[in-house]
Each structure stands twice: as C-alpha cells, then as structure tokens.
Chains A and B, each alone.
Chain A
C-alpha cells in the first residue's frame, strides 16, 4: 500500500517548510519524526494530556488531534521556536525558580498553555489558573508549583507589563 501524500507548505518557527505529508500523519508525528523537533511529546494520543501542544497561528493546538496536512499555509510554533525566540523566557525562568516541573515530559505543553494564559487571561486568579491548565496532565508535581509559577508571572506583568513576546 503506497501512502497518499499531500504537498504541504507552512511556516515552522519562523521558517518556510515544504513537505510531502502522508494524509493520515498527525502533526505531532510530522514534527517529531520528519522534522526532528522532539521537544513536543506524545503522551495519551487522545487529546487529553496536552504533552503534544504547539501553537498554530498563535492558538494552542493538540498535535495528536491535528493532521499534518491541516497546517497548510499556517504558522506553527513549537517549544523549540518559542524558546529560541525568547517568548517563553519569563515563564521558563518562573518554572525553574518554583520547580514547576519534575520529569519535564509535560512541560512543553504546560508552558504553551501558560503562555496562552499570560497573553489572554492576564487577570486569572489561582482557581482560574488551575482551570486553565486542567487540559495538561502533570503526574509529578501535584500542580501547585505550576500554579505558583504562572501566578508569579501574571502578578509581575500586572505591575510591569512584560515587554517582549509574552504579552504580544
């Protein structure tokens, strides 16, 4: 059986990418296997755990529920790109200071949810932060440090809006 493929062109972490993508291939597999971006992880394969999250046109997307061909013409940002561009720097520092991660397998997705909170829910309180990260499963931390880290960034942002990236 030869696999049907579709020519797909998209922007990946700021650079143009063109690939022949098997129609059944999920975005997460395309990123990890064909493009070598292994920072996003495959956890549950059901859209439940959030380990595979990436940004597509600035929106949080589950890599395991999105087909690779579906990003035609779109802009995809992964943990690697969001790290290199500095958009996650403030959150990453807060996660480090609060030890808001242990094994790190959920962290790529968790940070992308956190970035979405920083951008779109700047006034979220602790309970709201807990709700907003409930699509990301962490089995190690007990979540409290993650809530602390995100809350610390939101509080700092209220005092002094974070200039680069995070609040864009």
Chain B
C-alpha cells in the first residue's frame, strides 16, 4: 500500500526560471516510462476484446486458388474468419498516388488480399478469436492453395519489365523523373576531372521495439469508432479510417498513447491495421491487432533499396562543376498509401549534391515495383542515400586531384553569406551555416591531429580512416510536401492552452510524442511564454477527440511547427491573463507581467497576485469582474510554414574508424556531429535526437539489411538474424551546435529528429574507404559487412 506520507506533495516549484527555451530540462512527464507505468497499445484492455491474427502469404507472388476457412472457424474461441472479399465490403481499397509526383502510378490495394498475393507476408485471411493464442492456434487450420506466379525480386529485372507485376499498369515503373540544368553538357565538357561510382544501399527497416499495433472499438449505437493506435499521425488516420470505412469523420476518434518507437514506421496506412478497424465494425466489438516480430519484418515498411551511379565533374583546382545522378529504387508491389513510395527517390534527386554551390546537375530516377515488402518513408527519407552518394563521390574527387577532403569541401560548400539560395535542383534554402559548422567540427575533432595520428598508425600497420559528410535536411514541410498532391495530411498544427483554476497550464497539441521529447519542449515553451514554472504545465498529445487538428510527427516538424503554435497560443493566453489581473487590480495592463506563477509589476517585479488567484476569480467569482468583461483562459492558435517549401537544416558529421584487414571488421572509434537545427529548445534532448539518429544511420551503414532469397523469401525475419546496433559496437558521439533560427517563425526552431540519420552513413562509408585506401580497396555497398570488406580486399 502507498503510505499517505510517501505521496508527492503539490508545491509550486521554487527553483523556477524565466528562460526555459535553451535549457536542458529533464522530461518530468516521462518519469512514468521509467517505472513501467507507461501505457503502450498492448497495455490497454477493453471488455469483450477480441484478437485478430492474419494468415499471410507464403509466396512472393501467387494466385489464391482456394481458401477454406471452415475448419479455422470451428476452433476453440474463434469468433470469425474472413477473407479479403468479406472485409472489402466494409473497407474500400486505395491507391497510393500523389498528383504532384507527375505520372506516379500504383495498383489498387485491399486491406486483405483478393485473388492474388504480391509479397510474402501479405495478409490473405483474418482470424478473430477471444484470445491471441486461440487465434494463432486456429491459423494452423486455414486451408489455402496457391498457384505461384513469376516473382520480380531484383529491381533491375523489374525495370527490364519481362514480367509485369500489375498488368493493368502496363509496366513495372511506379514513378520516373529526370532533370537537367541548362547548359549541362557544355559545362560538363569543360571538366578537368570526372569521377564516377556506383553505390548500393541495402533495404532496411525501422525495427521499433514496440511492434505496430491497433485496437479498434466500434460502438454501433452511435456508429462511432475509437481507434487506439501506435501511430505518429492520428488526424491523418482519422480521415483515412473515416473515408474508407464510411464513418463520419468526427465519429472516428484516434488515440495514440505511449508509442514505443516510430521513426516513420508508424505513419503509414497498413492493410492489416485497416482490416482490424473494419473487423471491429463487422463484429460490433473491440478488436486488437499486435504485430509479432516476424510480421513486423515482413510488413512494416522497408526503405532505402537503391542502386545509384553518381558522377562528379570538377576542375583541377578543386571546384565542383556539377553532379550527374542515375538512381534506381525498388519499392515492393504497391506504392504505400497515402504518402506514396515515390517520395524517397524524389528526395534523392532533390538533395544529391545539396550542400555544394555547383551550377550544373542532371538526374534520372526510376522507382520500380518488386515482389518484396513495400517500402516507404523511414527516418530521414532519402537523405542517407543522397548524402552518402554526394559525400562518397566528393571524397573520390578530392582523392583524384590529391586534395585533402576537408579542404575540398571548404572550397565548394555554399558560403554562409549566400542566402537565400536556390539550389540547382530548384530547392530553396532560407539560411544555412555550412562554413560555420565545418569550422566548428574540425576544431571539435582536432582534424589535423587526428590526421597525424592516422598517418603514424599506418606506419605500424593499423588502418584507421576519417570520414566527413556534410549534409542538409528537410524539416517543417509546408503543404508543398503532401497537401498539394492531394493527400489529406495537415501541414498546419495547433495548440490549445487552458489555464486551470489553480494556475496550472493544460497544453493540448496536435503534434504527437514517441519519445523525442516533444511534450517536454512544448511544456518549456508554454512555461516561458506564459510565465509559469515548468512543473505547472501538463501536455496532452495524440488524441483527435481532444487536441486541435494537425499533421502529427514526421519530417522533423514537431518542435518547429507544433512549438510555434504553442508559443503563439501562450502569448495570447498571457495577454488574456493580464486582462483579468488588470480588471481585478484596477491597474493598467501595460504595467503588469506574469513571472514565476505570479502576476507582477512589470517594472519593479513586485508580486501582485498569484495565477491561482486570477483563476479563482475568473472561474468562480466572475461576478466580481466588470459587467461587460468575459475572461478567456483557453486559447488556441495554429501555425503553418508558408514562405519556403521546407525549412532546411544543415550540419556536418565525422567518423573515425579502424578496419581490421584480416577479419574485415570495422570498429567505430568516435563520431562527431555539428548541427544547425535553428533554435535549440532543450540541448539535452536535441543531442539525444542527433545521437539516436546517428546510431540508426550507422545501423544502415554497417549492419542492417532485409535479405531476400531469389524467390522472394525474407531470410532474416528475427532480431537474432537482422542486426541492429548494440551498445558495445557504438562509439561515443560528440555533438556541437550552430544556431541559425528560421525567420519563418518566432520560435526559430527548425527540427532535429532526422539529421543524424541523414549524414551518418556517408561519414562512416568515407571513413571505411579512407582506411582501406592505402590497401587499394574500397567499398560501395551498404551495409559494409566484414564479408564485403574482405571481398573488397580480395581476401574472399
């Protein structure tokens, strides 16, 4: 039992401060997660809850010849068993296209496959039972016959088009794009040096520790559906569930409680999740789906399977003339709804060469269908590929002309005084700080000393490498990202702040939290803007029934967009508080301020009345206020980035590695990152975002790959076989900041969630190749496994 004396008291924190923005305030609201008191999706149980499991295709491509669910239906505890046609009566299909990606096409996708399966793991039937175990037991009694069809596994084969996956589309090309700047050929012809490399990127996935999960609870009396969802974008899901299940929008309430990792995995429409929502409507009771780990590997979106040839032309003096890119990516059998699977490749085209000031660019992109799991947007979408291509070929160019790679970059980075700047791909940058970041990085890592150490060790047969990777990163997207293409994904977000009678703030924001600390930074912004101590702020996110409407969390938009909405809302609330205080005190509002939970005299700081007194009068004794005065202690404000399509951030990373030429193992010794994410709201949280992002980038560079057999079977569908970074393999990561606030908002925050992932693979690749260079070897295929390193060395 909890002794009364052990319960926390409720004092106003006396250690308050006026400036929370820029301070490493611990995430008090997340303390519950350290005590096992969080509420993740599978922790929620409802009366009459049923559990769904899916019978999934064992084939990469096959016709469903027959499907007999009669025996499964007779198993203990089974409530129902349904095929694709049965579920399609309640859930309309979709096509994952965006109109601004011109020509992008995809096939009709159902919640559960009908007639044909297009990847191993696609759901073929749904079994609903009283317990998860009973449903899984019944799976053994599903009788299905498949007629295997030719499967397209390799993306080059797909491009050739000998077998067309969706005959109604005519070919296997989902999306293609090409561009060439004016005068490209003439400029290219003048180059002294042209370097060319082809790079391969392994298909990998997010591996959230909490698997995907959804629980839908249909109430037939009001034709309403409450959806508990491990998800990043609840309003997007509300819209989609409403339209595809034909339930009025406001009758669908999506609630995202604690989410155990997302990284972009939990921002897409998954067929099995849509089926689960439909099953709740069909069965008129709550139904829960929780992916198990093999299902996660088979059906969580994959990403980043690319093969790209990149060329760089430069002068002898080391000035880049231009880049030439040819990228091919394989996305599985469907473009994922509603964000599409064309965005990643499109980003690679937009961003390759991005940090540099060259004037010429040619690019070609082919996005093709394959019979493997679908791919879509995963943390730093396209950036890890674009930055690795750019920085890999930049190192090749520097090597070709015999220039130090840091010097080569310094010469070619867009100068800090060149903004606003329009990049050759047409993208506009508001204000970046490449030169400042580079100077800071080289100082932080003591570049010259490290080069000297590397050279000395080489004499002793120790092969160490230093790799640099400059980067840019898309954040805070405007409606140009999705809205203009017809996707109903909000680019604006809102914040409601309510001052409660005791003077505490209730902050409700449409941006969501998956551990990044968005709620913590919103509390800091609200506290500072209104003038209360941060312990007097509570933040609620992830509930379409409660918060303003908004886009949620993706594309490093939470702090920049949601944070600005909180700031604007807080400013108005403070003004409203002062209106009430002025009325109570019969003083001029202009002489008052709110500081540290008190209304004070602006000049002297003398306490006039606590906020709790303002609240008491406003809520319980409004009769004492002037007759025509109405207090407004709940304020909502919204924010949309408009001026630029995206708020770009920039930075640069460095990796220091040692390669063992005998075993092929790469040991990460240290990693540095200097990042400019605009206003830093909470340095501790930002550093942790950068570090976590870097480690995920390192995962792709060294360990992670979804391996498929020639016939499309996933070969490593467990966490024992699919390697993610472990603590012992990771280096200490030094993070530094340059702060160039965006002028598009008062807060100035740009976003920090993805930059680490964007730059890390390129930095690690360049470090490995720098270590291998004296041995005349190099690697180009991620992940750089010991086997690939040894192969590059000619040892296997």
Residue numbers of A with Cβ under 8 A of B are 1, 32, 37-46, 48-49, 51, 78-80, 83, 88, 92, 95-99, 101-108, 111, 126-127, 129-131, 133-134, 136-147
Contact = CB atoms under 8 A, between A and B. Distances in A.
B34 A130 contact: no
B52 to A, nearest CB: 16
Interface in B193-216: 206-211
Interface string B715-733: 0001110001111111011
B694 A142 contact: yes
B695 A103 contact: no
Given A48-B720, A103-B260, A104-B258, A134 B515 contact: no
B73 to A, nearest CB: 15
A108 B692 contact: no
A111 B33 CA distance: 11
Contacts of A46: 293, 718-720
A137 B733 CA distance: 18
A40 B36 contact: yes
Contact of A105 (B32, B206, B210): B210
Interface residues of B, number: 58
Sorted from nearest, which 6 A-B pairs have the closest CB atoms? Answer: A39-B36, A104-B33, A103-B515, A105-B260, A102-B515, A79-B36
Contacts of B554: none
B248 interface: no
Interface of B: 26-28, 30-40, 42-43, 76, 137, 206-211, 258-263, 292-293, 514-517, 684-685, 688, 691-696, 718-720, 724-730, 732-733, 756
Contact of B35 (A32, A39, A133): A39
Contacts of B263: 139
Contacts of A78: 36
Contacts of A139: 206-209, 261, 263, 692, 696, 724
Contacts of A51: 209
B210 A103 contact: yes
Contact of B691 (A44, A107, A141): A141
A139 B723 CA distance: 12
Which of B36, B137, B514, B720 has the most chain A CB atoms inside 10 A of its CB?
Answer: B36
A37 B36 CA distance: 9
Given A97-B26, A103-B514, A142-B692, A133 B718 contact: no
5 contacts: A39-B37, A48-B719, A49-B209, A92-B35, A143-B727
B514 to A, nearest CB: 6
B40 A105 contact: yes
B515 A38 contact: no
B36 A134 contact: no
A40 B43 CA distance: 10
Which of B35, B292, B684, B688 has the most chain A CB atoms inside 10 A of its CB?
Answer: B35
Which of A43, A104, A137 has the most chain B CB atoms inside 10 A of its CB?
Answer: A104
Nearest to B262: A103
B261 A105 contact: yes
Contacts of A38: 36, 39-40, 42-43
Given A39-B35, A44-B718, A101-B30, 4 more contacts: A83-B35, A102-B692, A104-B38, A134-B728
Nearest to B24: A99
Contacts of B733: 142, 144
A48 B684 CA distance: 29
A101 B26 CA distance: 11
Contact of A146 (B208, B696, B718, B727): B727
A1 B258 CA distance: 36
A42 B260 CA distance: 11
Given A130-B728, A130-B730, A134-B727, A96 B688 contact: no
A111 B34 contact: yes
A141 B31 CA distance: 16
A147 B33 CA distance: 18
Given A139-B208, A144-B691, A92 B34 contact: yes
Contacts of B261: 102-103, 105, 139-140
A133 B727 contact: yes
Given A44-B718, A99-B688, A141-B688, A1 B137 contact: yes
Contact of B260 (A104, A136, A143): A104
Contacts of A99: 26-27, 517, 684-685, 688
B8 to A, nearest CB: 13
Nearest to A104: B33
Contact of B33 (A97, A101, A138, A144): A101
Contact of A103 (B258, B719, B732): B258
Given A102-B688, A104-B515, A142-B688, A43 B33 contact: no
B137 A137 contact: no
A112 B60 CA distance: 41
A38 B210 CA distance: 13
B38 A142 contact: no
B515 A79 contact: no
B766 to A, nearest CB: 20
B718 A83 contact: no
A124 B495 CA distance: 46
A42 B719 CA distance: 13
Contacts of A143: 695, 725, 727, 730
Contacts of A49: 209, 719
A103 B261 CA distance: 6
A111 B727 CA distance: 14
B31 A79 contact: no
A146 B692 CA distance: 12
A117 B732 CA distance: 20
Contacts of B208: 103, 105, 139
Contacts of A32: 42-43
Nearest to B76: A1
Contacts of B28: 96
Given A38-B42, A101-B515, A137 B724 contact: yes
B726 A134 contact: yes
A144 B725 CA distance: 12
Nearest to A36: B45
B720 A96 contact: no
A142 B209 contact: no
Given A46-B718, A96-B31, A106-B209, A140 B728 contact: no
Contacts of A88: 34-35
B152 to A, nearest CB: 31
A70 B444 CA distance: 53
Contacts of A126: 732
A140 B732 CA distance: 15
A98 B683 CA distance: 11
Contacts of A101: 30, 33-34, 515
Contacts of B34: 83, 88, 92, 95-96, 101, 104, 107, 111
Nearest to A143: B727
A134 B209 CA distance: 15
B209 A43 contact: yes
Which of A37, A40, A105, A108 has the most chain B CB atoms inside 10 A of its CB?
Answer: A105
A7 B727 CA distance: 40
A138 B31 CA distance: 17
Nearest to A86: B6
Contacts of A41: 40, 209-210, 260
B517 A102 contact: yes
A137 B209 contact: yes
A44 B719 contact: yes
A45 B726 CA distance: 17
Contact of B36 (A83, A142, A146): A83
Contacts of A37: 36
Given A45-B292, A139-B724, A96 B26 contact: yes
Given A51-B209, A130-B727, A80 B36 contact: yes
A96 B726 CA distance: 21
Contacts of B718: 44, 46, 48
B529 to A, nearest CB: 23
Given A44-B719, A51-B209, A108-B36, A141 B692 contact: yes
Contacts of B30: 96, 101, 104
